Amino acid sequence: MAVKGARGRPARTEAETETMRREISQAAERLFRSEGYAAVSMRRLAVEVGKSPMALYSYYGSKIEILHHLWSRVFDDLFAEVAARLSDELSPLERLALFCEIYVQYWVSHPERYRMVFMLEGVSQTDVGNFMVGEPFASQFQPMREIFAAALGSGAADGQGAEVFDLIICLLHGVAHNHVTMSQYAWTDPARLVRLGIARILGAEPV
- Distance between first and last Cα of the chain: 79
In-domain check, residue 4: no
In-domain check, residue 150: yes
For residue 19, what is the domain's CATH number?
A: 1.10.10.60
> What is the radius of gyration, based on Cα positions, of the chain?
22
Question: With helix as H, strand as E and coil as C, how does 148-206 read?
Answer: HHHHHHHHHHCCCHHHHHHHHHHHHHHHHHHHHHCCCCCCCCHHHHHHHHHHHHHCCCC
How far CA 96 is from CA of 13, 45, 93, 139, in Å, comes to: 43, 41, 5, 17
- Assess whether 197 and 162 both reside in one domain: yes
In-domain check, residue 8: no
- Assess whether 143 and 52 both reside in one domain: no
- Assess whether 54 and 127 both reside in one domain: no
- Assess whether 43 and 75 both reside in one domain: no
* Sequential pLDDT tens for the chain (207 residues): 444 444 555 677 889 899 999 999 999 999 999 999 999 999 999 999 999 999 999 999 999 999 999 999 999 999 999 999 998 889 999 999 999 999 999 999 999 999 999 999 899 999 999 998 887 788 888 888 888 888 887 555 455 688 888 999 999 999 999 999 999 999 999 999 999 999 999 887 777
For residue 78, what is the domain's CATH number?
A: 1.10.357.10
- Assess whether 41 and 94 both reside in one domain: no
- Assess whether 20 and 118 both reside in one domain: no
Domain range holding 119? Answer: 69-202
Using a 10 angstrom Cβ sphere, with 0-12 exposed, 13-18 middle and 19 or more buried, the burial of residue 48 is middle
- Domains: count for the chain: 2
Determine the Cα angle at 159 with ends 158 and 163, to 5°.
115
- Assess whether 30 and 101 both reside in one domain: no
* Predicted local confidence at residue 1, as pLDDT: 44
- Assess whether 178 and 108 both reside in one domain: yes
Q: Measuring CA to CA, which residue among 145, 149, 151 is closest to residue 92? A: 151
